A and B are shown apart, each in its own frame.
Chain A
């Protein structure tokens, strides 16, 4: 009996399809919005640097909306989605746990506490920094405590993460309830949003996204080996503890940077890697790069929904990711003939 091996290369059709979906999502994100800007004008304004394309006659307002508002927001969405999805894939691989998401080790609770501290003390200028540091501190504590308690196994680290998350959430909830005047602001931050800071957030997030992306991409083969089990991986010569630390650090860096600009956008990090797996098989050599691409596309599309469904008001994007993503995922799950995740 032969064991069906998961394909370890991306099929060309899937690669082309993924890039096409992302390109389409980015384009739709830039061209569609509440402002009455004709898509054709927007398209030629975007590509006026291409020889043969004439700059269209669009108003200053539309010029601003296009280049100072929609474009940075769409790029930010792609970066955040890509970061969360690839971090989710890395966490799922490192801990061999299909329920893992980028917030597994307390990143969300830590970021929430950091942001709440900044908001309730009036230090609104450093909400992003506080969230970033909070996430890293929480995961750091969980990792150190887990290693100390459980030696080599990943399970102890996960449990430490659960405990740290509960503790940080308790502190966050206490602070939040104590300052009723900022209650709403804190809740809105927790729900997540793609910020409106122009290119500032994009340039802040991009270095972390690139560094973490390169690390996780470079070590995607090790995730496949770790999937066999910790002892088996060690037998095959993989320094399990060191690789795990490296990948968790990279995923945490990307996640912390993403939440520092976008708040706690859930669902993307757990669902996108599974979607990719259902379509292409479970090798991390395929799942990691495709999670980056589809995570980016998924976030851009859901943000488009968040911006347009209740236009000119906006929905919190965290609501849209779950509302759109959950049924879509269940549909794919049902259609899929694969039984194992």
Chain B
């Protein structure tokens, strides 16, 4: 049993990290994310006559990886559910030959059993791709693909909302759907602006608690204002109760129940991952004193909407806007 417990501790830690990485695909490798910056596109040749139309070969730098795309890709493999959504939204869906097991949106995406978490080189190469899109360079897959002359585009988890728009445009450049991507990004930006403008800010900022899930031991994972999710809430003037708890700046601290009750959030958001309902949360011992519970301000969020940064990001903004409108109506 004790031997079990020692390995259990190790596994707990690694599983906790994995969980955080799943819940927020941007929480993976800190050294990579720090060196991110905005993705950039560099033209290597001047054969193109239209200035807005980068030609091929095209050198792309994103996620700390520089790759050269020889010609317009026609056999794309996407191992990132977010990138899959972006590709189909900018009209590059017909250029996609295979997507990973979790890329179940949109419906017509060619889902396979490929994994983005444990990428398998041979399984990917079997689709004879001329471009692979991933969200993380897991298990050295980028170098492995480079070894067989397949360019790989890394589109890491968005740290800021702006990253989402940038990645849409970058995928437009990479796939030759430049004007479609520009139109989508602009539309997303303006819809978000309209949603934010439609919400009246309160004089005192409202506080929220966003529950990612239980840590299994009676505490809960949450997000701070400095995360991608936190920025969405922050756009509406909301402040996360988790901010003071994030001493290491990780962005996804674990909060004890006592801390949550004491912080007394005005709103509670939770994902539909774990079978919770507003009723089960309100029934937790001691939670009845929380303002959000007393006012019935508990809102369920779709797990996919809050953990992906693709075209449906607008829907995430809309859920928050709707929640705020519902709350102010009482």
Binding site for B on A (CB under 8 A): 33-37, 59-65, 68-70, 72, 103, 108-109, 124, 165, 169, 183-185, 187-191, 193-200, 264, 266, 307, 311-314, 316, 318-319, 322
Contact check, A189 vs B285: say whether CB atoms are below 8 A apart.
no
Interface of A is mostly: helix
Contact check, A191 vs B285: say whether CB atoms are below 8 A apart.
no
Extra pairs beyond A183-B11, A191-B8, A314-B219 (13, CB < 8 Å): A62-B262, A64-B287, A184-B11, A187-B8, A188-B217, A190-B8, A199-B285, A264-B1, A266-B5, A312-B219, A312-B255, A314-B254, A319-B9
- Contacts of B251-297 to chain A: CB distance below 8 A: 253-259, 261-262, 264, 275, 284-290
Contact with A along B1-27 (1 / 0, CB 8 A): 110110011011001101100000000
What are the residues of chain B within 8 A of A198 when measuring CB–CB? 285-286
- Contacts of B287-325 to chain A: CB distance below 8 A: 287-290
Contact with A along B198-230 (1 / 0, CB 8 A): 000000000000000001111100000000000
B75 proximal to A (CB < 8 A)? no
B195 proximal to A (CB < 8 A)? no
CA distance A318 to B217 in the complex (A): 11
Residue of A63, A108, A191, A312 near B9 (CB, 8 A) is A191
CA distance A185 to B216 in the complex (A): 6
Q: Which of A61, A63, A70, A193 has the most chain B CB atoms inside 10 A of its CB?
A: A61
Contact check, B258 vs A34: say whether CB atoms are below 8 A apart.
yes
Contact check, A313 vs B285: say whether CB atoms are below 8 A apart.
no
B65 proximal to A (CB < 8 A)? no
Contact check, B11 vs A314: say whether CB atoms are below 8 A apart.
no
Report if A312-B253 is in contact (Cβ < 8 Å); known contacts: A34-B258, A184-B15: yes
CA distance A34 to B253 in the complex (A): 14
CA distance A269 to B149 in the complex (A): 60
What are the 6 closest A-B residue pairs judged by CB atoms, nearest first?
A198-B285, A188-B216, A312-B259, A68-B286, A35-B262, A184-B15
B245 proximal to A (CB < 8 A)? yes
Contact check, B1 vs A266: say whether CB atoms are below 8 A apart.
yes
A sample of 12 cross-chain residue pairs with beta-carbon separation below 8 angstroms, ordered by A number, consists of A33-B258, A35-B261, A60-B289, A109-B1, A169-B4, A183-B15, A184-B216, A197-B285, A199-B285, A312-B219, A313-B215, A314-B256
User: Smallest distance from the beta carbon of B209 to chain A beta carbons, Å?
Assistant: 12
CA distance A264 to B9 in the complex (A): 13
User: Smallest distance from the beta carbon of B10 to chain A beta carbons, Å?
Assistant: 10
CA distance A314 to B219 in the complex (A): 7
Closest to B244 in A: A312
Contact check, A103 vs B256: say whether CB atoms are below 8 A apart.
no
Closest to B287 in A: A64
CA distance A68 to B283 in the complex (A): 11
Contact check, B16 vs A68: say whether CB atoms are below 8 A apart.
no
User: Smallest distance from the beta carbon of B288 to chain A beta carbons, Å?
Assistant: 7
- Contacts of B238-254 to chain A: CB distance below 8 A: 245, 253-254
CA distance A312 to B258 in the complex (A): 8
Residue of A69, A165, A193, A318 near B285 (CB, 8 A) is A69
What are the residues of chain A within 8 A of B254 when measuring CB–CB? 312-314
What are the residues of chain B within 8 A of A193 when measuring CB–CB? 216-218
Contact check, A61 vs B262: say whether CB atoms are below 8 A apart.
yes
Contact check, B215 vs A307: say whether CB atoms are below 8 A apart.
no
Binding site for A on B (CB under 8 A): 1-2, 4-5, 8-9, 11-12, 15-16, 18-19, 215-219, 245, 253-259, 261-262, 264, 275, 284-290
Report if A64-B288 is in contact (Cβ < 8 Å); known contacts: A169-B4, A266-B2, A313-B253: yes
Residue of B4, B12, B257 near A196 (CB, 8 A) is B257
Q: Which of B219, B264, B286 has the most chain A CB atoms inside 10 A of its CB?
A: B286
User: Smallest distance from the beta carbon of A39 to chain B beta carbons, Å?
Assistant: 14
What are the residues of chain A within 8 A of B275 when measuring CB–CB? 124
What are the residues of chain A within 8 A of B289 when measuring CB–CB? 59-61, 63-64
What are the residues of chain B within 8 A of A199 when measuring CB–CB? 285
What are the residues of chain B within 8 A of A190 when measuring CB–CB? 4-5, 8
Contact check, A307 vs B1: say whether CB atoms are below 8 A apart.
no
CA distance A187 to B191 in the complex (A): 43
CA distance A189 to B8 in the complex (A): 10
Contact check, B261 vs A187: say whether CB atoms are below 8 A apart.
no
User: Smallest distance from the beta carbon of A262 to chain B beta carbons, Å?
Assistant: 11
Residue of B5, B259, B287 near A191 (CB, 8 A) is B5
Contact check, A184 vs B12: say whether CB atoms are below 8 A apart.
yes
Report if A194-B259 is in contact (Cβ < 8 Å); known contacts: A61-B290, A72-B285, A187-B11: no
User: Smallest distance from the beta carbon of A36 to chain B beta carbons, Å?
Assistant: 7
CA distance A65 to B286 in the complex (A): 6
User: Smallest distance from the beta carbon of A135 to chain B beta carbons, Å?
Assistant: 13
CA distance A33 to B245 in the complex (A): 14
User: Smallest distance from the beta carbon of A103 to chain B beta carbons, Å?
Assistant: 6
Closest to B11 in A: A187
What are the residues of chain A within 8 A of B4 when measuring CB–CB? 169, 190
Contact check, B15 vs A35: say whether CB atoms are below 8 A apart.
no
Closest to A103 in B: B1
What are the residues of chain B within 8 A of A264 when measuring CB–CB? 1, 5
What are the residues of chain B within 8 A of A318 when measuring CB–CB? 5
CA distance A319 to B11 in the complex (A): 13
User: Smallest distance from the beta carbon of A120 to chain B beta carbons, Å?
Assistant: 14
Residue of A62, A124, A165, A312 near B256 (CB, 8 A) is A312
Closest to A101 in B: B1
Contact check, A34 vs B259: say whether CB atoms are below 8 A apart.
yes
CA distance A69 to B4 in the complex (A): 31
